[in-house]
Amino acid sequence: MSSDSAAVELANVEHSYGDVTAVGPVSLSVPAGEFLVLVGASGCGKSTLLRLIAGFEQPTTGTVLTGGRAPRPGRGAGLVFQQPRLFPWKTVGGNVALALRYAGLPTDRVDELLAGVGLHDVAHRRTWQISGGQQQRVAIARALAVDNPLLLLDEPFAALDALTRERLQEDLRRVSARTGRTCVFVTHSVDEAVFLGSRVVVLTARPGRVALDLKVGLPRDGLAPDELRGLPEYAALRSQIGHAVREAATVSEKAIGPEGVPA
């Protein structure tokens, strides 16, 4: 499974918080340019996995590599946390500008970046003067401000309405395809997983292990989103993954070997 050029490489990674094992041994190799979607029950360890890849947690056992090296926060990976985590002492625009400043980029693209997530006329507002979904979008704009080769997104669209969500999904898919970025994307929406992912990994309940690892071989080029969703393979994948998620969530810790879901 492993490859030297992998953007993200997890080898037998396990992570425990004290005596709570959050992520069971997981081995995953994400080639550069892949759009990996992680799906799994609430509390199964998705965020922990993302934090491991971002370098915020050290694996209890096993090794994590990004771009062949031990991950360090802020080096080569953009991260959207599950919570917006905006700085209240900065305006909305100031939050985005900060990301640009850290990357040494000019800060005049703030409005453009905010417009990219559907936000207009809020750059001067305080972070508590915008709605929950708007905060989430500011966090996305902040993480996307800089072109990192790796993007880690933890349920970024959870607080968005269907329309906005679809637009941003489409944007994200287009951008990542065009620039060849690697994405690791956590979601609870099976539809989103199929629509976005070039590969979908379903995790078991805590401690999260790989229950299903599926390449999504949908023909994407030139298809409008609605056309894509209309494909029969699309529906098939949806139901397959949906099924796997339900299965995996109920799999008990014991019943599952290190290799994945039993046949």
Partner 1 sequence: MSIIAPVRPTTEPATGGARTARAKGGRRRVLLRVVALLVLYALWEITARVTRNPVFIPGPGAVWHQLIVTSTTHDGVRGYSGHLLIEHLGVSLRRILIGSVIGVAAGLVLGVVMGTVGWIRVVAEPVVTFVRALPPLAYFSLFIIWFGIDETPKLWLLSIAALPPVAVATAAAVYSAPTGLVEAARALGAGRWQIVRDVVLPNALPEIFTGIRLAVGVAYSSVVAAETINGVPGIGGLIRDAQRYSQTDVVVLGLFAIGLSGLLIDALLRTAETRLIPWRGRS
The answer to the question of residue 190 lying near ligand ATP (CB under 6 A) is no
- Tell me which stretch binds ligand ATP (CB under 6 A): 58-66, 101-109, 128-136, 167-175: 128-136
Residue 242 CB neighbours (<10 A): 16
The answer to the question of residue 156 lying near ligand ATP (CB under 6 A) is no
The answer to the question of residue 252 lying near ligand ATP (CB under 6 A) is no
The answer to the question of residue 58 lying near Mg ion (CB under 5 A) is no
Three-state SS letters, 66-85:
ECCECCCCCCCEEEECCCCC
Give the residue with the Cβ less far from a second copy, 40 or 55: 40
Residue 228 CB neighbours (<10 A): 17
Q: With contact defined as beta carbons under 8 Å apart, do 169 and 17 qualify?
A: no
- Tell me which stretch binds ligand ATP (CB under 6 A): 18-26, 194-202, 211-219, 224-232: 18-26
Q: How far is Cα 38 from Cα 153, in angstroms, rounded to an integer?
A: 10
Q: How far is Cα 217 from Cα 58, in angstroms, rounded to an integer?
A: 33
Binders of partner 1 in range 95-124 (CB under 8 A): 98-99, 102-103
Bond before 207 cis per omega within 30 degrees = yes
What's the min distance (Å) between Cβ of 170 and partner 1?
25
Q: How far is Cα 53 from Cα 73, in angstroms, rounded to an integer?
A: 9
Using CB under 6 A, list all residues that contact ligand ATP. Answer: 17-18, 20, 22, 40, 42-48, 82, 129-134, 159, 206
Using CB under 8 A, list all residues that contact partner 1. Answer: 16-19, 54, 56, 58, 60, 73-75, 77-79, 81, 83, 85-90, 98-99, 102-103, 126-128, 142-143, 146
